[in-house]
């Protein structure tokens, strides 16, 4: 699977943060988002 575009990464991260939920992903872009809990799988 290709990684997300930077704009898509921001929107996905924003939704996870707003909902106070972790994000399960293989995309390393999300590791750079402050406050976001990333579940690597």
| Residue-wise pLDDT tens digits, 1-36 | 456 678 888 999 999 999 999 999 999 989 999 999
- Phi then psi for residue 40, to 5 deg, are -85, 135
| pTM for this model (two decimals) | 0.79
CA 22/CA 16 separation, integer angstroms: 6
- Whether the CA torsion 40, 2, 31, 22 is positive or negative: it is negative
CA trace torsion 32, 35, 36, 41 (10° rounding): 70
């Amino acid at each position: 699977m290709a990684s997300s575009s930077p704009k898509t990464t921001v929107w996905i991260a924003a939704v996870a943060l707003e909902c106070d939920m972790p994000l399960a992903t293989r995309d390393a872009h999300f590791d750079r988002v402050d406050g976001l809990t990333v579940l690597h799988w």
